[in-house]
Amino acid sequence: MNRPVAVALATILLAGAAGLAVAQPKGPPAMGPPVTDPAQVPAGHYVSDPHHGGFILKVQHMGMDQSVFRMDKFNASFDYDPAHMDASKVQVSVDSNSFDQGDPGISATFAKEFLDAPNHPTVTFNSTSFRRSGANTGVLTGDLSLNGVTKPVSLNVTFNGFRPAGGMGPARVGFTASGVIHRHDFNVGAAMPTAIIGDVDLDVTMEFTKAA
């Protein structure tokens, strides 16, 4: 290949490569880790994101294994002031009929017999106190209303992080929590005494966004 042709071909290839480089879309900017200091979370009213969160319940099935259930229709909110963290108030409302075992028929039966959903379609939790137990952990105590019974329950809460308002929308915070529900305190599973054994282990994960 003579030199003029080679130079022309190289120029065309380089121009094409440059064009391809320009045409390729840019990906989203790298996202750093969230802020894990709760003192940096802005004061205000926060509401749950219904697309990021849920309630996982685990209970012994006939003493042989742990049956796992999910409830993912809920509304929750809390008021927060970093200068007075212990005064934070949390309200949660969960749809009893969102009880999900993985099979629609079994889920409907369990919602009825496990939670008496036709007569008590909503499970509520209203906090009464919060006590910090570490840099980003605490114990949240409140009144749980379940199956027509209201009694205090404590949850171990972990603050997972905060992201300020920006490209992902309003300011956002994330939490996980865990606790044990003594099912006999709430008459849970009374209709199936041999199938459901022991207490209920509860795991919660939830994200909140700052209300305008």
Residue 19 is predicted with a pLDDT of 47
Residue 22 lies in a domain: no
Looking at the predicted structure, is the pLDDT value of residue 212 above 90?
A: no
Cβ(131)–Cβ(86) below 8 Å: yes
Cβ(202)–Cβ(69) below 8 Å: no
Query: Averaged over 70-79, what is the pLDDT?
Result: 94
Looking at the predicted structure, is the pLDDT value of residue 168 above 80?
A: no
Buried b (16+ CB within 10 A) or exposed e, 147-165: beeeeebebebbbebbbee
Q: Following DSSP, what letter does each residue of 19-38 receive, concatenated?
A: HHHHHSPPPPPP--PPB--G
Cβ(183)–Cβ(189) below 8 Å: yes
Residue 6 lies in a domain: no
Query: Averaged over 163-174, what is the pLDDT?
Result: 86
List, in sequence order, every residue forming a beta bridge with 159; answer none if it has no partner. 175
User: 185: domain range?
Assistant: 38-210
Residue 78 is predicted with a pLDDT of 96
Residue 2 lies in a domain: no
Q: In which band, very low, low, confident or very high, does the pLDDT at 10 lie, cut at 50, 70 and 90?
A: very low
In the chain, the number of structural domains is 1
Residue 117 lies in a domain: yes
Q: Greater confidence, 140 or 193?
A: 140
Residue 192 lies in a domain: yes
Q: What is the Cα–Cα distance from 165 to 163, expressed in whole angstroms?
A: 7
Query: Averaged over 98-123, what is the pLDDT?
Result: 89
Looking at the predicted structure, is the pLDDT value of residue 62 above 80?
A: no
Residue 203 lies in a domain: yes
Cβ(67)–Cβ(54) below 8 Å: no
Q: In which band, very low, low, confident or very high, does the pLDDT at 32 lie, cut at 50, 70 and 90?
A: confident
Q: What is the Cα–Cα distance from 57 to 139, expressed in whole angstroms?
A: 19
CA distances from 115 to 118, 124, 161 (A): 9, 13, 33
Cβ(207)–Cβ(53) below 8 Å: yes
Q: What is the mean pLDDT of the chain?
A: 83
List, in sequence order, every residue forming a beta bridge with 181; answer none if it has no partner. 200
Residue 49's CATH number: 2.40.128.110
Query: Averaged over 40-66, what is the pLDDT?
Result: 86
